[in-house]
Amino acid sequence: MSLSETYFEFIGQVNKVISDSNFNSYKATKGPFIYKDHQAEMISTLKGIGFNLQFMPKKDFYEIESQVLSLLDSISKSFCGGDARTKLEPRMYR
């Protein structure tokens, strides 16, 4: 089976959103981590493959995001044979 470069690029974009948010939440020493900015980036990125998420309260969005990332992880493991390019970054923000 041939793996799609487009899928690898998409996972890279998701990982960039996660990494950027991890960094921003870590450096948020002069105020809170702005979760709405993270939501906007993740909503935009996931729209690239057809997910139509909306802004919602932080706790609710985090739960939905967890489920979407779990789905992506399952797809990657099932169809990409554990290719390292499909490994999702761990989330450090909350």
For 54, other C-beta atoms within 10 Å of its C-beta total 9
Per-residue pLDDT at 59: 95
User: Domain limits of the chain?
Assistant: 5-86
With a cut of 70, which residues of the chain have pLDDT below it? 1, 28-31
Per-residue pLDDT at 1: 59
